[in-house]
Structure 1
Amino acid sequence: MFTTLVAVIAALVLGHVAPAPVASLRRFHWYTRWLEWLGVQAADGGFWRGRYGIALALLPPVLLVALVQIALSGRWLGLVSLLFGVLMLAWTWGPRDLDTDVESVLDAHDLDTRRARLAQLAPSPDTVMAEGPTLPGSVMRSALRRWFAPLFWFLLLGPAGALLYRLVERAAVANPGVLPEENAAGTRVLLQWLEWPVAQLMTLALALAGNFDLVFRAWRGAGGDRWQPESLFLEAVGRAAVSGELAEEAEDYLREGRTLPVSGELLGLRDAMSLVWRMLLLWLALLALLVIAGWVS
């Protein structure tokens, strides 16, 4: 738990202090070349072209990290293990910091610049990011893939878990054309199952951080209470939570005789990022309580 807290703080700090070098380290070019090499070796068929073929790409790096993780456990009072965990989460975080990208959109002064910066917020290359009611939902999905999913799997399985999620996400989202058809379909399903528990926990945090009734109704209406790999309810609850925030904020501003500080649909973007920060703080506060409880006991 303590390692997770330190690792998250380090990942956030590194992304702000040295955004360009850190982002360049998170591009996973070596993984793309690894997938391409496997595709060449299995050109005539075999396990790689099947639904579970992605396991061939995942096992070597994830197993290597897991072995290092086990070997470092307890060494030097846990300091080496702590440093390894910090480095691994900082590596699998992102690849870009969400709050920095949101701020760049809000600071854009012309339409073309804003559109270009909005594209950097997309959770996947095929997602069209445009001002409108769907924008908060896309921000929530980006928050899941950049921050919350690596954090969840790091907490559950350590550095190997964070790497497992990031490699599956990179294969399914960033390099879908590299994989054979059945392999790509299986990888997408695996990604959905890896993201499903994270989306559920994000929804709970969002309900606690925002309007509980609105979030709960949106969650049920979008099928969040059903056992299925798709977690599209996250976009629905994100839109519902932001609409509730905007309605409450508009009432406050009207009552005080003030005007809203940001015009247009970017109000939704700003409030979505505010909710993401609140969710992250709730997660970290819970981790801190668990750490304190462990020390006290």
Structure 2
Amino acid sequence: MTWLALVLALLLEQFRPVGRGNLFYGGYRGFAEMVERNFNAGEYQHGVVGWTIAVAVPAVLAGLVWGGLYLLHPLLAWLFGLGVLWVTMGFRQFSSAFTGVADALKEGDLDTARELLGGWTRESTRTLSENEVARVAIEQGLIDAYRHVFGPMFWFVVLGPAGAVAYRAATILQLKWGARDRRLGGRFGLFAERVAAVIDWLPSRITAASFAVVGDFEDAVYCWRQQAERWTSEAYGILLAAGAGAIGVKLGMPLHQDYTVKFRPELGLGEDADADMLASAVGLVWRTLLFWLALILLVTLSTLF
């Protein structure tokens, strides 16, 4: 039943995608802002309390609803789980931006590609070259594929609807509180940043290993072992290094942003990033998804016989 819910959620999301500004996410962000207003006094321990409340409330609520529906009828609980998956995961939450950048690069329209990438990453892209746009798009695509597909899938399989809800809440808080306070030197969001690294530790490595299995295994493992630790985020460094090695592309490296140079370590091996390599990245993600679904199906069938 878990496998069927995953497949149907992915299909449903293709036809009725949940947009970035949807009611569920908007409501949760409002709840997170309320928690921060009441608990952010600038100290680390306040962030611990705020994060616990902001994650535990929706996760426990999801678990209670699922449990109550299961007592009424297992099918009702399954439908609820399907709805949770539809909200918490899906390609369409980032794929339209990725496709737009790829199409603009293929047509030679660098300005449009820059504009679409900037709206997607929410960073300055006005002075990026074509190669830099392609690199950043592949990097953001691999990270978003993990955050919106493989991360929620993993925690749903492990902990059910409550796990998927907790994971999505934790990623929102990491971006909303953790990344902000890491950049500005605040302390309230440090716990959100640190616990996100713990939550991502296992699923990010399983995803990176899957990239290696469905791509160039030798290069993916080499890049993972030799390059990943140089990235600022351990989990994302592993994902990007393994993904770059799996498709044979160079990622990372310096970026020309706002007429300055942003120095970043080199990841991957092989060719320079371009529009064709964006297609290779999409293929890697889809092969990995099919690989996961096949494994989950085999495990499910093995428990039935």
Q: Does the CA contact (< 8 Å) of 2:143 and 2:239 recur in 1? A: yes
Give 2:84's aligned residue.
88
Q: Measured at CA, do residues 134 and 28 of structure 1 come closer, stay the same or move farther in structure 2, by a change above 3 Å?
A: closer
| Pair 1:102 & 2:107 matched | no
**Alignment partner of 2:295: what SS?**
helix
What are the ranges of 5 or more consecutive residues in structure 1 without an aligned counterpart?
A: 246-262
Alignment partners' CA distance in 1, 2:25 and 2:151: 17
Q: How many residues align?
A: 270
Q: Measured at CA, do residues 134 and 236 of structure 1 come closer, stay the same or move farther in structure 2, by a change above 3 Å?
A: farther
Q: Does the CA contact (< 8 Å) of 2:155 and 2:164 recur in 1? A: yes
**Match of 2:103, as an amino acid?**
D
| Pair 1:155 & 2:157 matched | yes
Q: Does the CA contact (< 8 Å) of 1:35 and 1:178 recur in 2? A: no
Q: Measured at CA, do residues 168 and 88 of structure 1 come closer, stay the same or move farther in structure 2, by a change above 3 Å?
A: same
Give 1:13's aligned residue.
11
**Alignment partner of 1:183: what SS?**
coil
1:182 to 180, 187, 211: 187
Q: Measured at CA, do residues 293 and 75 of structure 1 come closer, stay the same or move farther in structure 2, by a change above 3 Å?
A: farther
Structure possessing the higher relative contact order (Cα contacts under 8 Å, 6 or more residues apart):
1
Q: Measured at CA, do residues 50 and 169 of structure 1 come closer, stay the same or move farther in structure 2, by a change above 3 Å?
A: closer
Q: Does the CA contact (< 8 Å) of 1:99 and 1:273 recur in 2? A: no
Q: Does the CA contact (< 8 Å) of 1:209 and 1:278 recur in 2? A: yes
Q: Which structure shows the higher strand fraction?
A: 2
Alignment partners' CA distance in 1, 2:199 and 2:289: 18
Give 1:267's aligned residue.
276
- CA deviation profile, 1:92-116 (whole Å, cap 9, x unmatched): 1148444443333332342232223
Alignment partners' CA distance in 2, 1:9 and 1:127: 36
- CA deviation profile, 1:265-293 (whole Å, cap 9, x unmatched): 11221101100000000000011112222
Q: Does the CA contact (< 8 Å) of 2:47 and 2:190 recur in 1? A: no
Alignment partners' CA distance in 1, 2:226 and 2:96: 32
Alignment partners' CA distance in 2, 1:37 and 1:133: 37
Q: Does the CA contact (< 8 Å) of 1:69 and 1:81 recur in 2? A: yes
TM-score scaled to structure 2, two decimals?
A: 0.77
Q: Measured at CA, do residues 28 and 38 of structure 1 come closer, stay the same or move farther in structure 2, by a change above 3 Å?
A: same
- CA deviation profile, 1:205-250 (whole Å, cap 9, x unmatched): 11110111101111111357xxx964412111111222169xxxxx
What are the ranges of 5 or more consecutive residues in structure 2 without an aligned counterpart?
A: 251-271
Alignment partners' CA distance in 2, 1:100 and 1:40: 34
- CA deviation profile, 1:63-89 (whole Å, cap 9, x unmatched): 11111122223543x211110000001
**Alignment partner of 2:187: what SS?**
helix
Give 2:39's aligned residue.
42
**Match of 1:83, as an amino acid?**
L
CA shift for structure 1 position 178 = 9.1
2:204 to 199, 205, 209: 199
1:67 to 64, 67, 72: 64
Q: Does the CA contact (< 8 Å) of 2:88 and 2:152 recur in 1? A: yes
Alignment partners' CA distance in 2, 1:56 and 1:170: 14
188-197 vs 80-89, which deviates more?
188-197
Q: Does the CA contact (< 8 Å) of 1:210 and 1:275 recur in 2? A: yes
Q: Measured at CA, do residues 43 and 187 of structure 1 come closer, stay the same or move farther in structure 2, by a change above 3 Å?
A: closer
**Match of 1:159, as an amino acid?**
P
Give 1:233's aligned residue.
238
Give 1:55's aligned residue.
52
**Alignment partner of 1:181: what SS?**
coil
Alignment partners' CA distance in 1, 2:35 and 2:49: 14
Alignment partners' CA distance in 2, 1:284 and 1:196: 21
Q: Measured at CA, do residues 49 and 127 of structure 1 come closer, stay the same or move farther in structure 2, by a change above 3 Å?
A: farther
Identity of aligned residues (%): 27
TM-score scaled to structure 1, two decimals?
A: 0.79
Alignment partners' CA distance in 2, 1:74 and 1:182: 43
